[in-house]
Amino acid sequence: MRITVMTAGEQIITLDVDSQETVENVKALLEVESNVPIQQQQLLYNGNEMGNSDKLSALGVKDDDLLMMMVSNASSGATSAAGNDLGMNPDGSALNPSAFQQHIRGDSNLMGQLFQNDPELAQVISGSDLNKLQDVLRARHRQRSVLQRQKEEELALLYADPFDVEAQKKIEAAIRQQKGIDENWEAALEHNPEGFARVIMLYVDMEVNGVPLKAFVDSGAQSTIISKSCAERCGLLRLMDQRYKGIAHGVGQSEILGRIHVAPIKIGNNFYPCSFVVLDSPNMEFLFGLDMLRKHQCTIDLKENVMTVGGGEVSVPFLQEKDIPSRFLDEERVPNDASSSGATVPSGFTEKKNNTVANPTSQQPKRQNTSEGPEFEAKIAKLVELGFSRDAVIQALRLFEGNEEQAAGFLFGG
């Protein structure tokens, strides 16, 4: 449900929360939104103070209800120390980012709310980069400041003197702008409805050294890339030249393990020589990049929905959504939430030799160091049996570094 909180400074904050959420967790969300430490918040509903352990439903709070937040500067002893430790700077960053991170991490319900309402902030909190956390907090503070100014301007116009010519001009301009946006949206629905649909990336069927694969065709990636696990499955890992090691940097990084100089790929009924960069990237199997597209004179024909090879001697159709593994579609749908540094290979990927840096033009999230062998799969299977989706289970296990009990608590709490 959605609730609105008005602060003593007349700041208006809207939150999407569960009716079974505790007041303390609501205060924690308000701390992120308003920079007011939990210890200094006093929440009122219908004039009555709300206890930290009370649930919203038990207090009668319903969808679209209004709460008041009073700010108290009184603090002493340990409470004062904790408040200072979890306080916020004027620019929106945390006074003690490590303490702030641990405080939010320690509450599985609150983390669940953040994953629903602000996935980017939740990912940063679950990571290890405190500088990135501070940057995101500052960005959120700037966004709130802009929205607050806009609301104040709208309220000022609402109560403006009807005979104030300048105010009436601003109201007229605002109406025209909103009308233009609405008309543009309606026109897009009528003439360009596909613009609101998800775009499926380009995949074709190939065989690498006799092993069938779904190949991601990406003309924006400089090199053709294969993951270590896929290379091993195709029997090519023994050919990897480790002199071509390096690092692919994005948001986080992915290790370049080496290069396979030549191996056969089958497109349609024809065989072609191909070279690969090998990445330590478990969630990406095989990417057919610009180097091989150029070498084999490939054409991406979106009108006919095919890729031609060898100047037209072979033509293979791009796969429909139903033929693409769901894990690939999930990565495309939420690329910013991908938990692996190689989940989506960046366009503009540049390979460098001898431990120098690869330079992608787009960036990828960094995954936590979590062992994901048979034991990890067994934990996934147990939690999936409880009724949770595989993606949610994997995310929870990575968040709690493979701890099955904490992940289960998080999933039930969320």
Q: Are 48 and 139 members of one domain?
A: yes
Annotation marks residue 182 as catalytic? no
C-alpha to C-alpha distance for 314 and 334, rounded to whole angstroms = 33
In this structure, what are the phi and psi dihedrals at residue 315, rounded to the nearest 5 degrees? -135, 125
pLDDT tens, N- to C-terminus, the chain (414 residues): 888 887 766 677 888 888 888 888 888 888 888 778 888 888 888 777 888 888 888 888 888 888 888 887 644 444 444 445 567 788 888 888 888 888 888 777 777 777 777 788 888 888 888 888 888 888 888 887 887 777 777 777 766 777 777 777 777 777 787 788 888 888 887 888 777 777 888 999 999 999 999 999 988 888 899 999 999 999 999 999 998 888 765 444 677 899 999 999 999 999 999 999 998 876 678 999 999 999 999 999 999 999 999 888 899 999 988 888 877 775 443 333 333 333 334 444 444 444 433 443 333 333 434 446 678 888 888 888 777 788 788 877 877 777 777 777 777 665
Q: Are 309 and 401 members of one domain?
A: no
Range of the domain at 338: 203-358
Q: Are 121 and 230 members of one domain?
A: no
User: Would you tell me how many other CB atoms lie within 10 Å of the CB of residue 272?
Assistant: 17
What is the DSSP annotation of 56-110?
TTTTT--TT-EEEEEE-----HHHHHHHHHT-B-TTS-BSSHHHHHHHHHT-HHH
Q: Are 208 and 353 members of one domain?
A: yes
Q: Are 300 and 259 members of one domain?
A: yes
Q: Are 209 and 73 members of one domain?
A: no
Q: Are 232 and 305 members of one domain?
A: yes
Closest CA to 133 of 106, 95, 107: 95
C-alpha to C-alpha distance for 233 and 1, rounded to whole angstroms = 48
Q: Are 227 and 193 members of one domain?
A: no
Q: Are 188 and 213 members of one domain?
A: no
Q: Are 35 and 80 members of one domain?
A: yes
275 found inside a domain: yes
Q: Are 265 and 354 members of one domain?
A: yes
Closest CA to 395 of 130, 198, 108: 108
Catalytic residue among 118, 135, 218, 301: 218
Residue 228's domain is classified under what CATH number? Answer: 2.40.70.10
SS3 178: helix
For 31, the token pair is 């701390």
User: Would you tell me how many other CB atoms lie within 10 Å of the CB of residue 211?
Assistant: 14
273 found inside a domain: yes
222 found inside a domain: yes
Q: Which of 312, 332, 358 is the last residue in one of the domains? A: 358
Residue for token digits 């990927």? 349
**DSSP 8-class letter at 88:** B
